[in-house]
Amino acid sequence: MSWKKPNVCWPSRRFSPSEAKSHWETGHARVVRRRIARVAVTPEEIGLCGCWQVIAVRRERVELGRKAGPPSDETWCYATSLAYDQMSDEELLEVIRGHWDAIENGSHYRRDVSLGEDASQVSNRGGAQVMATLRNLAIGIQELEEHQGRSTPEGLKSWCRKQTFAKASRFLQRK
């Protein structure tokens, strides 16, 4: 017998973003379609303080070019404190995409491009965690320096090369 998990964000409410209107977007050597479905809930009903709606976003993606492979089809669930009529489906999709864009363009860009994380050849799991922690520390220290006017975003790579553990330790102990 085959059992398929239903698309359920909350057991008393079933909904599927597959029926929602959508369009295909192209960019970054792929085509993507996002569809959204949402239901209004009460905090008591869902058990999350301040939650007024649950959202499901179905993302279908097809990679093109050298990265071409099998298409992906994922559904993600979100909970929000926004009232159901506060934003349209399109606005909510933009907010969700904006959240991930900020992560991708902020942290990931700095880690991949400025600090060369993708080129790292550390294969040991523990070593990779240590390196990720050190990269996070470097980014955090650089942001503090930038906030205090002693560095610029463009200077992250060269600034990190000049830092030593002793300098970083002294910086962190400052108030």
Same domain, 1 and 79: yes
In a domain, 99, yes or no: no
Contact predicate 64/29, CB 8 Å: yes
In a domain, 101, yes or no: no
d(CA 46, CA 79): 10
Ranges of the chain with pLDDT below 70: 1-21, 101-106, 151-175
The distance from CA 66 to its chain's CA centroid, rounded to whole angstroms, is: 24
- Residue that is last in its domain, among 42, 64, 93: 93
d(CA 56, CA 16): 7
Range of the domain at 146: 111-175
d(CA 116, CA 4): 41
Task: Give the list of residues 6+ apart from residue 78 with CB closer than 8 angstroms, or none.
Answer: 54, 55, 56, 57, 96
In a domain, 150, yes or no: yes
- Sequence letter at residue 36: I
Total structural domains within the chain? 2
Per-residue pLDDT reduced to its tens digit, 12-47: 455 556 556 677 888 878 898 888 888 899 998 888
